[in-house]
């Protein structure tokens, strides 16, 4: 604890009072005991006994031991009520001179909101029908030195909620519900992939060469090896190495890191689920993606018709499919088909839309930039954008009928990219040429262009079977299924600017 922190604590009269109470407690004995064991969670008691009336419950004489944080407190002379909150919910306590004893009751009166308590007693129902523990013994298990914010009516300041997520979780039930849903979504994905015969694996977080996606990496240094390492921007190339090795269906749920700006849809550290399957193509990957998202929606929302940002989204119908040019024309009727193959017009339109020009100014790259500026946010219902230009898809297999496009898709829902997948390029000579082209773009100033990965080319030379692959953004999927408008609402500890 530094000097400024100590000074701030001493200047706060509420915290000074709580610290003095802690000192008194320490003089009486162990202020942080660890020998209390609870018998039930709050929600279990409500589930088991909510249907009993007052008389029936009294006849059963049910002994319980519960623990949690004190959220409410009402002192009424020789009796008091309190509300105890654990991870599952809340339950009421009744403390009295008669049953609990005047000494324990008096000690309880000096405890504060936020303190962590343990209580043993008998279940009963009040005259209003509320399930309550008639406390026989009560214990202070951990003292809260800081009071709840804003008189414990809820932490409202958005930035403070992100910085102090521990407080946010205590006082805002909606925050806790969001992260419970997130956990269920991830578990649903694991169960789905296991049922499809996929093997969950773990690949390196630190790479000698960043690869698998077009993004600017974070760089670090390994002292013992005296060499730079990069936090991974994607596990793709390692997962495909595993397919080369005969692990024909693999998936990974883990962190990626990209040295990019912050926004409501971007956090430098984020979670992806990537999966690869031998002997299939991007059609199978689109089918898998639809099924995964529907399964997650049913678990998180109980339905495949969801509401997001005042829009009703139908996840049950087959997802729409557009090429980039068809989507641009469909959602921007003022554009003409012939204009989309005119580089001069495309550059002029991008300038008017205040969209930066790509370094590689091919027709395909310019069309993609125009799509991102004019159309992407209009894709509210689930939509696959398919057949991306080869020059912007360095790892995707080119179409047999038209080598200028690839068998690639991106899924957009509510104007946000949720997934990206393709038939994998498994020709080592063509992949080497694509890497060399990426190197040229990097030398031309594109910080997000890929490096040449010689070991990956070596792996392809052993033979990668026809393979489909896809990555689904877990954070954005959770945003969609919890109604969250910012990615920070779905990440427990998002990256923040220095306070």
Give DSSP secondary structure letters for 171-187: H-HHHHHHHHHHHHHHH
Q: What is the pLDDT of residue 152?
A: 45
Question: Is 277 a domain residue?
Answer: yes
Question: Is 18 a domain residue?
Answer: yes
Q: What is the CATH number of the domain that holds 454?
A: 3.30.930.10
Same domain, 238 and 326: yes
List, in sequence order, every residue forming a beta bridge with 189; answer none if it has no partner.
Answer: none
CB 434 within 8 A of CB 394: yes
Q: What angle do CA 193, 198, 200 make, to 5 degrees?
A: 85
Mean pLDDT for back-to-back runs of 10 residues, the chain (499 residues) = 50 91 92 96 96 93 97 95 97 97 96 97 96 97 91 67 93 95 98 98 96 92 95 97 98 95 92 98 98 98 96 96 98 96 97 93 96 97 97 96 97 97 98 95 90 97 98 98 96 91
Print burial letters for 65-101: b (CB count within 10 Å at least 16), e (below 16).
bbbbbbbebeeeeeebbbbbbbeebbbbbbbbeebbb
Question: Is 75 a domain residue?
Answer: yes
Question: Is 56 a domain residue?
Answer: yes
Q: What is the pLDDT of residue 360?
A: 85
Last residue of a domain, one of 91, 116, 147: 147
Same domain, 217 and 131: no
Same domain, 132 and 250: no
Q: What is the pLDDT of residue 10?
A: 56
Same domain, 15 and 68: yes
210 φ, ψ (degrees, to nearest 5): -70, 140
Q: What is the CATH number of the domain that holds 77?
A: 2.40.50.140
Question: Is 156 a domain residue?
Answer: no
Map residue 300 onto helix, strand or coil. helix
Question: Is 368 a domain residue?
Answer: no
Question: Is 355 a domain residue?
Answer: no
Same domain, 178 and 125: no
Task: Return the DSSP state at 391.
Answer: G
Q: What is the pLDDT of residue 466?
A: 98
E strand or H helix at 473? strand 467-473
Same domain, 233 and 270: yes
Same domain, 116 and 180: no
Burial class (CB in 10 A: 0-12, 13-18, 19+), 169: middle
Question: Is 348 a domain residue?
Answer: no
CB 327 within 8 A of CB 385: yes
Q: CB-hemisphere CA count at 13 Å for 197?
A: 5
Same domain, 201 and 327: yes
Q: How many separate domains does the chain show?
A: 2
- Which residues, including other chains, have CB under 8 Å from residue 333's CB and lie 6 or more apart? none
Same domain, 284 and 229: yes
CB 18 within 8 A of CB 90: no
- Which residues, including other chains, have CB under 8 Å from residue 319's CB and lie 6 or more apart? 286, 290, 381, 382, 383, 384, 411
Same domain, 225 and 128: no
Same domain, 272 and 316: yes
Give CA–CA dist 83/74, Å, rounded: 9
In which domain, by residue range, is 43 found? 3-147
E strand or H helix at 370? helix 363-374
Same domain, 10 and 56: yes
List, in sequence order, every residue forming a beta bridge with 59; answer none if it has no partner.
Answer: none
């Amino acid at each position: 604890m530094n000097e400024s922190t100590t000074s701030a604590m001493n200047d706060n009269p509420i915290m000074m009072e709580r610290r003095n109470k802690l000192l008194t407690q320490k003089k009486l004995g162990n202020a942080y005991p660890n020998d209390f064991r609870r018998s039930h969670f709050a929600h279990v008691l409500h589930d088991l006994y909510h249907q009993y009336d007052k008389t029936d419950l009294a006849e059963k004489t049910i002994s319980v031991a519960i623990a949690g944080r004190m959220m409410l407190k009402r002192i009424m002379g020789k009796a008091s009520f309190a509300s105890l909150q654990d991870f599952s919910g809340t339950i009421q306590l009744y403390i009295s001179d008669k049953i609990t004893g005047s000494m324990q009751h008096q000690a309880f009166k000096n405890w504060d909101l936020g303190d962590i308590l343990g209580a043993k007693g008998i279940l009963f129902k009040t005259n209003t029908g509320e399930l309550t523990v008639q406390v026989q013994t009560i214990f202070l298990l951990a003292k809260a030195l800081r009071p709840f914010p804003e008189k414990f009516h809820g932490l409202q300041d958005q930035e403070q909620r992100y910085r102090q997520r521990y407080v946010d979780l205590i006082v805002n039930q909606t925050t806790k519900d969001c992260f419970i849903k997130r956990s269920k979504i991830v578990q649903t994905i694991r169960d789905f992939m296991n049922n499809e015969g996929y093997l969950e694996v773990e690949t390196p977080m630190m790479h000698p060469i960043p690869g698998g996606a077009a993004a600017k990496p974070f760089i670090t240094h390994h002292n013992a090896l005296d060499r730079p390492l990069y936090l991974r921007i994607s596990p793709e190339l390692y997962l495909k190495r595993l397919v080369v090795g005969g692990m024909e269906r693999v998936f990974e749920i883990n962190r990626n890191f990209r040295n990019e700006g912050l926004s409501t849809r971007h956090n430098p550290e984020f979670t992806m689920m990537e999966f690869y399957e031998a002997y299939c193509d991007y059609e199978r990957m689109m089918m898998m993606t639809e099924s995964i998202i529907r399964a997650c929606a049913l678990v998180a929302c109980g339905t495949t018709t969801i509401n997001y940002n005042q829009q009703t989204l139908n996840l049950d119908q087959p997802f729409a499919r557009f090429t980039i040019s068809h989507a641009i024309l469909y959602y921007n009727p003022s554009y003409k088909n012939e204009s989309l193959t005119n580089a001069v017009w495309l550059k002029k339109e991008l300038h008017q839309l205040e969209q930066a020009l790509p370094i590689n100014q091919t027709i395909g790259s310019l069309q993609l930039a125009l799509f991102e500026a004019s159309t992407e946010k209009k894709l509210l219902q689930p939509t696959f954008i398919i057949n991306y230009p080869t020059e912007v898809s360095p790892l995707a297999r080119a179409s047999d009928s038209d080598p200028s496009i690839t068998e690639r898709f991106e899924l957009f829902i509510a104007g946000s990219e949720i997934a990206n997948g393709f038939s994998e390029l498994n020709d080592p000579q063509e992949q080497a040429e694509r890497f060399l082209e990426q190197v040229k773009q990097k030398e031309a100033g594109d910080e997000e262009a890929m490096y040449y990965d010689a070991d990956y080319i070596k792996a392809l030379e052993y033979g990668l079977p026809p393979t489909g692959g896809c990555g689904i953004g877990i954070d954005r999927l959770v945003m969609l299924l919890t109604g969250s408008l910012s990615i920070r609402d779905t990440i427990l500890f998002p990256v923040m600017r220095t306070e």
